[in-house]
Amino acid sequence: MSVRKLKPITPGQRFRVVNGFDTITTDKPEKSLLAPKKRSGGRNNQGRMTTRNIGGGHKQKYRIIDFKRDKLGIPATVKTIEYDPNRTAFIALLSYADGEKRYVIAQNGLKVGQVVVSGSSIAPEVGNAMYLSEIPLGTTISCIELRPGQGAVMARSAGSFAQLMAREGKYATVKLPSGETRYILLTCLATVGVVSNSDHQLLVSGKAGRSRWLGRRPRVNAVRMNPVDHPMGGGEGRASGGHPRSRNGIPAKGFKTRSKTKASNKYILERRKK
């Protein structure tokens, strides 16, 4: 992992910090694993804008990712490490012994030619997908299932990881990237290792236009709106606009919105850091 700071030969490059892409091995994706990606521009099926600040952006193809890792016991060789425009992490192309190819989220340290496998009774090595019941305690894990067979839903973004803390009965205690500690069933799969591209947090866009390339339109500050548009709008001059709150009037800082009767509360040992 490395980043490059560009020389300021244009105003947009003055503060620009880009990814070194030294772990990327090819720029041509596997055609059989590409899918079209339609842009909504924030509009619904009636053409009405339902989500603001979305539109434009560079055309992208979706890479079909195998989050389930359900080819159990079949070894796969890492063919390439690739960039994916749809996510912050890099992805790896696996070629299985039976000839099938699949994309997975790449872990730090995953190299071309390495053999990975998912299932039970395997070594806890980087890139292997294992059941929480068999991963050694204290191991850093990522791409974690919340329900058996559901596919990975947690710790999937660049540089993120969780830690397996303990096992008790049919549950494992896992400390998640947010700081939350919760129970997860031992029959859920997780991948050993930290998600790749951990330098993603160091990147600097350099100019507003790059946000437009990513499909993000400008966002207007709430205080600068009129009272009809936002609870914090209106007033003469640079009025502060009262207490910070959302467009719907829900307070923004310190206001708890999680339901006290939510079913998953009993699985959470410690809430995320405030």
Do residue 103 and residue 234 come from a single domain? no
Do residue 230 and residue 189 come from a single domain? no
Task: Identify whether 209 is part of a domain.
Answer: no
DSSP-assigned states of every residue in 80-107: EEE--TTSSS-EEEEEETTS-EEEEEPB
Question: Which residue type, as a one-letter code, is found at position 41?
Answer: G
Task: Identify whether 116 is part of a domain.
Answer: yes
38: containing domain: 3-201
Question: What's the confidence (pLDDT) of residue 147?
Answer: 96
The arithmetic mean of pLDDT across residues 87-110, rounded, is 97
Could you read off the pLDDT of 234-269 as tens digits, one per residue? 999 888 778 999 999 999 998 999 999 999 999 999
**What pLDDT band is residue 95 in, cutting at 50, 70 and 90?**
very high
Task: Identify whether 273 is part of a domain.
Answer: no
Q: Indicate if the pLDDT at residue 63 is higher than 80.
A: yes
Do residue 29 and residue 150 come from a single domain? yes
**What pLDDT band is residue 232 in, cutting at 50, 70 and 90?**
very high
Question: What's the confidence (pLDDT) of residue 273?
Answer: 78
Task: Identify whether 210 is part of a domain.
Answer: no
Q: Which two tokens stand for residue 102?
A: 């699949």
DSSP-assigned states of every residue in 29-73: --GGGEEE----TTB-TTS-B-SSSB------EEE-B--S---BT
Do residue 28 and residue 87 come from a single domain? yes
Task: Identify whether 213 is part of a domain.
Answer: no
Do residue 245 and residue 129 come from a single domain? no
Burial of 262 (0-12, 13-18, 19+ CB in 10 A): exposed
The CATH number linked to 98 is 2.40.50.140
**What pLDDT band is residue 1 in, cutting at 50, 70 and 90?**
low
> Domain tally for the chain?
2
pTM to 2 decimals? 0.93
Task: Identify whether 135 is part of a domain.
Answer: yes
Do residue 78 and residue 133 come from a single domain? yes
